[in-house]
């Protein structure tokens, strides 16, 4: 079942009511979007794309939802075989040596969970109910961190008397709830059916 961004935001708002107007509506939405990105790194989609290599061209754009290479393969009949490849931070991949003929490479990769416009909303077709339940724990932790920061600022502003003590205690409570939400996220993530691989590495990869 597809997940709507507005529904995900509403669920976070219900779970973490605003504290002194924090999070704002925009911050709630950003927390959900950041949670989807973080979840994608841990439980990505496995996708396939054809890269059409051209003679004398070494650099090629990767798909917008690209996270990491799983396999990069050319048909055995092709005249050119890359000795090495490198994924770069600008969303491109470079082949070494530079291709000297035109041909296709099959790219199998880990992909982000991405949304598409659905009226005034955003629909995430690949997110299941289980995915949503787990990633919202991460969104909850982000919102609680915003509230902890707000309570800490308030405690600094009112630094005399019992009010400062109360607001310092509130900031601590928010931080503790954030850690509980993160612990729940990690625990539930281990139980979650995978779309791809869990625990991707960061940075460029090269293949043989």
Query: pLDDT digits over 125-138, tens only?
Result: 999 999 999 999 99
- Same domain as 7, residue 58: no
Structural domain includes residue 106: yes
73 HSE (CA, 13 A, CB side): 8
Count Cβ atoms within 10 A of the Cβ of residue 49 and give its class: 0-12 exposed, 13-18 middle, 19 or more buried.
middle
pTM recorded for the entire structure: 0.78
* CA-closest candidate to residue 129, choices 87, 188, 85, 89: 188
50 HSE (CA, 13 A, CB side): 6
Structural domain includes residue 208: no
- Same domain as 132, residue 81: no
- Same domain as 104, residue 49: yes
The predicted pLDDT at position 73 comes to: 86
- Same domain as 146, residue 184: yes
- Same domain as 87, residue 56: yes
The residues near 191 (Cβ < 8 Å, ≥ 6 apart) are none
pLDDT tens across 164-196, in order?
Answer: 566 688 999 999 999 999 999 999 999 988 875
Return the SS3 of 143: helix
The backbone torsions φ and ψ at residue 149, rounded to the nearest 5 degrees and listed phi first, read: -65, -40
The predicted pLDDT at position 201 comes to: 38
Whole-number Cα distances in Å, 112 to 107, 120, 171, 177: 15, 22, 33, 28
- Calpha distance 111→39 (Å, rounded): 11
Structural domain includes residue 173: yes
Q: What is the mean pLDDT of the chain?
A: 88
- Same domain as 53, residue 33: no
Structural domain includes residue 207: no
In the predicted structure, residue 61 carries a pLDDT above the cut 70: yes
Percent of residues, the chain, with pLDDT higher than 90: 68
- Same domain as 141, residue 85: no
Cis bond leading into 84, ω under 30°? no
Domain containing 107: what range?
A: 45-111
Structural domain includes residue 53: yes
Q: How many domains does the chain have?
A: 2
């Amino acid at each position: 079942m597809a997940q709507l961004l507005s529904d995900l935001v509403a669920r976070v708002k219900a779970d973490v009511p605003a504290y002194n107007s924090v999070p704002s509506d925009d911050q709630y939405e950003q927390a959900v979007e950041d949670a989807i990105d973080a979840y994608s790194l841990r439980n990505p989609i496995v996708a396939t794309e054809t890269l059409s290599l051209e003679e004398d061209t070494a650099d090629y754009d990767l798909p917008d939802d690209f996270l990491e290479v799983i396999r990069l393969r050319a048909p055995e009949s092709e005249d050119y075989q890359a000795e090495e490849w490198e994924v770069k931070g600008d969303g491109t991949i470079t082949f070494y040596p530079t291709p000297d003929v035109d041909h296709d490479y099959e790219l199998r990769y880990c992909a982000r969970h991405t949304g598409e416009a659905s009226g005034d909303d955003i629909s995430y077709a690949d997110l299941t109910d289980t995915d949503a339940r787990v990633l919202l724990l991460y969104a909850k932790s982000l919102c609680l961190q915003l509230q902890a920061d707000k309570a800490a600022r308030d405690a600094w502003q009112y630094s005399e008397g019992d009010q400062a003590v109360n607001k310092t205690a509130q900031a601590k409570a928010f931080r503790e709830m954030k850690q509980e939400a993160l612990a729940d996220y990690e625990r539930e993530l281990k139980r979650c059916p995978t779309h791809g691989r869990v625990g991707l590495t960061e940075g460029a990869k090269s293949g043989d």
